[in-house]
Amino acid sequence: MKLTGVELLRVRMPLVAPFRTSFGTQAERELLLLRAVTSEGEGWGECGAMVDPLYSSEYVEGVEHVLRTFLVPALLAAGDLTANKVAPLLAKFKGHRMAKGALEMAVLDAELRAHGVSFGTALGSTRDSVPCGVSVGIMDTIPKLVDVVGGYLDAGYLRIKLKIEPGWDVEPVRAVRERFGDILLQVDANTAYTLSDVPQLQRLDPFELLLIEQPLEEEDVLGHAELAKHIRTPICLDESIVSARSAADAIKLGACRIVNIKPSRVGGYLEARRVHDVCAAHGVPVWCGGMIETGLGRAANVALASLPGFTLPGDTSASDRFYTSDITEPFVLEGGRLPVPSGPGLGVTPIPERLAEVTTAKAWVAS
């Protein structure tokens, strides 16, 4: 298979409601999609980077630049290409995992479509549906939070994740636990705390949370190992896990007991599978995180989450959690679960009219 060109599409999609975390509030999702054109057909990729470098150092304009200037030209010049060759071919370019992951996803989708193989089958799926959780942002008031959580539970979500930050942690958790009892409940700090906050984080222990996600800065793996000695709530790492090697190191150091796998963050779905395998070998449960994906990224995430080591519900929520109208046929919650697409490649494609409505810019990169 030879890559002949890549179309880069900037899209902007309004969210059904503003989503606030410890690093800011989003009212719309602007992201980059990739359409890879090969000698054997097309494939789609999606980049998880945000407009601003707040979650990670990558951001949409930077991703577009590195793809156009370095990454896509390297693959165009490579001749015979498979998805397994993408990471080695791009290894000389340091970092830019989200950009590389999106490009690999597009090549993998094209390859699998050409061979009639689904994403799930290629990755090692063992299930035809996956249990779904939902991420709940920071709210203006606790009563509003309780109402929102109640709505998601009524919709069938099997696990609730609350975003927290200093000043919005113990009391929101207490209110949700007291109102809804023994639900699957976890929290996500997005690096908002330091080791000086140990006493405050210890106050979360009585609520029997599934986990606390990424309480400290992403590079502070040793700090997480130290924090783990002082709290009972299991620590889950997100931003700190950027590869299978970093996952193995964090586990060895005792920095986490659970891992959130975000394919975009680790450089693609093939590396995400390796992270899964490392964690499974160490008996560490994993779950699939989300980056407010469109139906393209959601399809791939659901396929990944159907691997055997994904034993906790992920942030693989239905399309209507964030979007009134998705760019693909919507993913609909069924009994708290989403079906794993079984068609070739991602098993979904953008609806042309819907994609056109949300596309704000296009660029074509070819040899």
229 is catalytic: no
Query: Of 133, 158, 127, 159, which Cα lies nearest the Cα of 307?
Result: 127
How far are the Cα atoms of 114, 195, 214, 251 from residue 246, in angstroms, in the given order?
33, 21, 14, 9
Q: Are 34 and 44 in contact (CB under 8 A)?
A: yes
Active-site residue (options: 92, 100, 144, 163): 163
Active-site residue (options: 92, 100, 229, 262): 262
161 is catalytic: no
Give me 359's structure tokens.
Answer: 């596309």
Task: Give the 3-state secondary structure of residue 57.
Answer: coil
Report the helix count and the strand count for the chain, using DSSP H and E. Answer: 14, 13
Q: Are 125 and 342 in contact (CB under 8 A)?
A: no
Q: Give the C-alpha separation, 233 to 227, whole Å.
A: 10
Q: Are 107 and 38 in contact (CB under 8 A)?
A: yes
Give me 311's structure tokens.
Answer: 């034993």
Beta-bridge partner residues of 345? 118
Q: Are 13 and 50 in contact (CB under 8 A)?
A: no
Q: Which residues are catalytic?
A: 163, 262
